[in-house]
Amino acid sequence: MAALCQESNTMRFTLKHLRYFVVAGEMSSVTRAAESLHVSQPSISSAILHLEDVTGLQLFVRHHAQGLSLTPSGRQFIRKAKQLLAEADGLVHYASTLGSDVAGSLRIVGFPTFTPILVPGLIKRFVDAYPAVKVHCDEKHQKDIIQSLHDGRYELALTYDMQIPADIEFEPLMEFPPYAVVGRNHPLADRKEVSLHELAPLPMVLLDWPMSREYFYSLFLSLELEPDFAYPAESLGMVRGLVGNGFGYTLFNSPMACNLAFDGTELVAIPLTEKLLPLRMGVARLRQYRLTPAAGAFIKHLEDQVRELSSSVFEDKRFYRLLTD
């Protein structure tokens, strides 16, 4: 009798219920979810109501004529739902490719300064080794990377150790010290090294991204200096173009794979004389998130390939240090 009671209390829902719920949560709309999944709106609404009934949770706040928004419980539940759906997808791929235990889809996100340089080659080598895995990679700023990991949108992130919260595990792979970059015609272009004390009074082109601006500002503050952020820019390409055309210097961390801006103007990298706080690049993931086989294989592949990849795209070893030795 006790066993029957226990069975009657078991939560009963399907992967379809979860998938409908996740899409509605991502799109904040039953209508758009139905259009995306090519099903009826009542099917989406019924799946959500069923999940709320069996879990006892209110997953959404309904806004009349303005769609849905996840409740705090809904945000936690959708994170777990995405994990379960990813594992289910991996199981389906595994069943169709018996003999290979690394299959399915893998979603990763990277920081924009180094991701276009390192990651395409890394993905190419990975899918050559594991052809049953489909890798999707996006680029985001640090604040959005952390939020996206919390939301379960990505399994892995390749990023810096900037303000990493305790519930995210971070494995450092490379260390990038800050350095100066000037245009070829800048008065400092022929210098072998330069001091932040010399640079502070000069106009600076700032890569004005969340957390990045705080990091660069902290370098000056550590020496009790006040920089002249004369030209803030929100894209790496614009920073390089402004510097190449003589508007000022900038500070970078990740080494440059090319010393040209998009318009062909030449850039010169100059080490700093001060020993300033470097940024560490590595792989981050949510601690409570159990890795799929594809994600685990990607981390191992990254650890194995980082030396060869870095030496092939970064010519000047003054601007990086490997942490995997």
For tokens 């594992």, name the residue.
87
User: Do the bridges between strand 104-110 and strand 228-233 make them parallel or antiparallel, or are there none, so unpaired?
Assistant: unpaired
Amino acid making up residue 17: H
CB distance 220 to 178 below 8 Å: no
CB distance 247 to 159 below 8 Å: no
List, in sequence order, every residue forming a beta bridge with 271; answer none if it has no partner: 179
φ and ψ at residue 205, rounded to 5 degrees: -95, 115
Reading the block at residue 79, the tokens are 């994170």
d(CA 104, CA 101): 10
pTM of the model as a whole: 0.69
Reading the block at residue 175, the tokens are 């260390």
What does the pLDDT profile of the chain (325 residues) look like in tens digits?
333 333 444 568 888 999 999 999 999 999 999 999 999 999 999 999 999 988 889 999 888 766 888 998 899 899 889 888 888 876 666 555 544 468 888 999 999 999 998 899 999 999 999 998 999 999 999 999 999 998 888 999 999 999 999 999 999 999 999 999 999 999 999 999 999 999 999 999 999 998 889 999 999 999 999 999 999 999 999 999 999 999 999 999 988 888 999 999 999 999 999 999 899 999 999 988 788 888 999 999 998 888 887 777 777 788 888 886 6
Rounded (10°) angle between helices 41-55 and 30-37 = 110
Amino acid making up residue 194: V
DSSP code, position 319: G
d(CA 61, CA 71): 6
